[in-house]
Amino acid sequence: MFERILIANRGEIACRIIRTAKRLGISTVAVYSEADAGALHTEEADEAFCIGPAPARDSYLSVEKIIAIALRSGVQAIHPGYGFLSENADFATACAAAGLVFIGPPPSAIRLMGSKSGAKSLMEQSGVPLVPGYHGDAQDPDIFAQVAIRIGYPVLVKASAGGGGKGIRVVERPDDLQSALESARREAESFFGDGKLLIEKYLQNPRHIEIQIFADRHDNFVSLFERDCSIQRRHQKVVEEAPAPGMNEESRAAMSKAAIAAARAVGYVGAGTVEFIAQGDDFWFMEMNTRLQVEHPVTEMITGQDLVEWQLCVACGESLPVRQEDLRIAGHSFEVRICAEDPSRDFLPSVGRILHLREPDASECVRLDSGMRAGDQISSSYDSMLAKLIVWGENRGAALRQLRTALSHYEIVGVKTNLDLLRAIASHRSFANGDVDTGFISRHANDLLASPPIDAGHARMAVCAVVAALMDDWREDAAGNAYRSEDRWSPWNTPDAWRMNGEGRQTLVLRTGDAELTIGVRFAGETLCVEFPDRTVEVIASREGARMSLRIEDHSVKVSVVRTGDDFAVLAGGRISLVTFIDPSRLPRSVHAGDNRLTAPIPARVTRVLVKPGQSVAKGAPLMVIEAMKMEITLAAPFDGVVSAVRARLDEMVREGAELVTFEPRGVD
C-alpha cells in the first residue's frame, strides 16, 4: 500500500479521500488555489501547497504545477478525485513519466472512453444499443443539421469530451441549432479543452441509470449494481439513489453485463461508471465516466464497501477485495447535492460567505461528505456543489424518512442554496412512489419551486425569536456600557425600557416580507410580554451562539437566529423566515433602480461581448455572456433600445452588481 499520496482536487471529494487515506495510515498532501487558502481540505491533509491563482486553468488544471508539487513532497501516487484532471489522459501519462502512480484507469482507456464519440463507436462495434445520432469526426454544421432532420427534433447537442452536464444543449427547432452548436462548442473548449461535438435524438423524460463497475490488473471485473440519477436540472444530477426503484433482476443483469463488456473492451482498470438512458425495458448506452463518480456514496451505503479504498488497492496492483458472487444489495440509499444556487432564478449560482452552517448529525444511517465550514467564502471560480447528504434505510421508505428528517436539520445562511428544492422533492408524492425520470423537476416545477408556505404560527414564532435576540443583544451592549461607565448602576445602562412613573415598554417595528409590523415589548423579569396587534404572548428565551431555546406560552422549540446588521434569519424545521428590524435612528437607504443598465448578477468572467456602442437591440436580444461556477449565463436586453456604452471587456472578471452595458430605451431601427 502507498505511504503518501497527493490529492489533486478540492472541496468535499478531497476531504472524502483524505478520510479513507487516514484510516489506512496513508499520509496525504493537498493542493489549493489562492481562493482556497485555509479551506477545510487543506487543514485535514498532513501538508498543503498553494498552486496558483483562483482560475482553475492556473491552478487545479495545471499539470506541470501539480506534478512539481508531487515530486517536491515525495508522494508515491496522485488521486485526481473527480472533475478537473480526473479524466485527462495527458495528466495520467505525465504522472507515469514522472514516476508517479495515477490512481485511475490507464491513459488509453481514458482516451477511448473519455471521448463520447469514440466510446459510442466502440459500443456500436460491440453491439451495445445506442441512441440514434451522429458521433463522427467531421464537425461541419451542415452535417449536424442534416442528422437533426433525419432523426427528428428535439435533438441533444453534446460535448464529445464532456461530463458534469457541461457542453450540452437541447435544441427544439432548426432555427436554434446553429447557436446551440456555437454555445456548446465554446463551453466544451472552456471546460475540457476540446470543442468536438456529437448530436443524438433527445429522448423525452427517460430514466438515467448508471452501473458502477470496478476492475483490477488481474482481469477481474465486477458490477456494484446500479444507481438511478434521473432527477436533474440543467442536465446535472440533483438526487441519486441505489438501487434504482422498480429495477428487476433481468434488467440489472443485462445492464451490468453491457457495462462490464464496455470496460473489458478498453482494458479498463479501477473505478468506472457506465451510464445508460432507459425507457420501459429498453436501455441505450450514453457514456462512460472513467473516474469515481460524485454519487459513489450511495453504492457504498448499499454494498458496505469503500470505493476509494478499492481504488488505492487496485492502483497498488492488488486484486479486487471481493468477487461478484460476494456482493449483495443491502437496503436503500439516497444522495442529494447541496449547491450554492437559486432555483427560483433558474438555478443562478450564488456566491458569498457562509454566515451560519448547521448540519444534521452523522450516524450509521446519515453521512455527510462536505468541504465547507461556517465562515468560508464561496467563490464563483468553481462548481456550485457545497456538500452531499447521503442516507440509508432498510428499504426505500425507511431511507426516504431519513432523508426528510436530515434535510429538516440542514441550515445554511449567507448564500442561496437548493435546500428548499431538495426538501420539496423528498416530500413529493411522485418521488415517494418512485415515479422519477429526467423531466421530474420541470414537470413538477410549480410544486417544487414555489416558496414554502409559512403559517401564522411559524411567522409569530419567528417574530418572537427576533424580539428575544434583539433584547439579548441590547442587554449585552448595556452590560458593556455599564462596565465602562462611572455609574454602572445607572438606570440609563439598562435595556428594559425603564420608566420613572410608568410601566417599562419598548416599541419595535419589524418587516416580514412586504409588511411592517409594530409590536410592543414589556418586561417581567426574564419573561418578555410581546404585544401583537391581536394578542399578547409570554416569551422566555435562552441563546448560545446562533441556537435559541424558545418558549412561547406552552410551546417550546429550538431555532437558529442569524443576524446580519438589522436583518435576521430564523430557521426551524427546515423553514426559514426573514425579519428586518426597522431602526428609527438610521436614515433610510437610497435605492437606484438602474433601469438603463445591465449589471452582473454574480461575480463572473466575461466570455463573450455580443454588442457594441450605437447598436440597436430588441428586447430579449443577447448582449453579453458571463461564466460563473462552471455555468454559462447569457444576459439579455430587458427592452428595445440602443447600446450607449459597453463597460466590460472580454475575459474580464466582474464583481456582482458591476455595470456591464448601458443602453437607452428607444425603438429599434
Q: Where in the sequence numbering do the catalytic residues fall?
A: 291
Own/partner pairs, 255-259, CB within 8 angstroms, 24+ separation: 255/209, 255/211, 255/226, 255/283, 256/211, 256/213, 256/223, 256/225, 256/226, 258/128, 258/211, 258/283, 258/285, 259/211, 259/213, 259/223
**CA–CA gap between residue 634 and residue 176 (Å, rounded):** 15
**CA–CA gap between residue 197 and residue 188 (Å, rounded):** 8
**CA–CA gap between residue 387 and residue 336 (Å, rounded):** 9
Q: What is the 3-state secondary structure (H, E, C) of 207-262?
A: EEEEEEEEECCCCCEEEEEEEEEEEEECCEEEEEEECCCCCCHHHHHHHHHHHHHH
What distances in angstroms separate CA 177 from CA 68, 153, 408, one per listed residue? 43, 10, 43
**CA–CA gap between residue 46 and residue 69 (Å, rounded):** 14
In the block, cell 419595535 appears at 508
What distances in angstroms separate CA 447 from CA 402, 426, 442, 455, one per listed residue? 22, 12, 10, 17
**CA–CA gap between residue 457 and residue 233 (Å, rounded):** 34
**CA–CA gap between residue 50 and residue 69 (Å, rounded):** 9
Q: Are strands 101-102 and 77-79 parallel, antiparallel or unpaired?
A: parallel
Q: Select from 139, 132, 138 the least CA-distant residue to 184.
A: 139
Contact 629, 604 (CB under 8 A): no
Q: Select from 34, 38, 72 the least CA-distant residue to 50.
A: 34
C-alpha cell at 462: 419567528
Q: Select from 504, 533, 528, 503 the least CA-distant residue to 518.
A: 533
Contact 436, 245 (CB under 8 A): yes
What distances in angstroms separate CA 556 from CA 38, 548, 577, 590, one per listed residue? 39, 11, 18, 40
What distances in angstroms separate CA 305 from CA 140, 525, 544, one per listed residue? 46, 57, 39
Main-chain phi, psi angles of 198, to 5 degrees: -135, 170
**CA–CA gap between residue 408 and residue 336 (Å, rounded):** 13
**CA–CA gap between residue 268 and residue 289 (Å, rounded):** 11
Main-chain phi, psi angles of 162, to 5 degrees: -85, -175
User: Environment class of residue 437 by beta-carbon count within 10 Å: exposed (0-12), middle (13-18) or buried (19+)?
Assistant: buried
The 10 Å Cβ neighbour count of residue 74 is 12
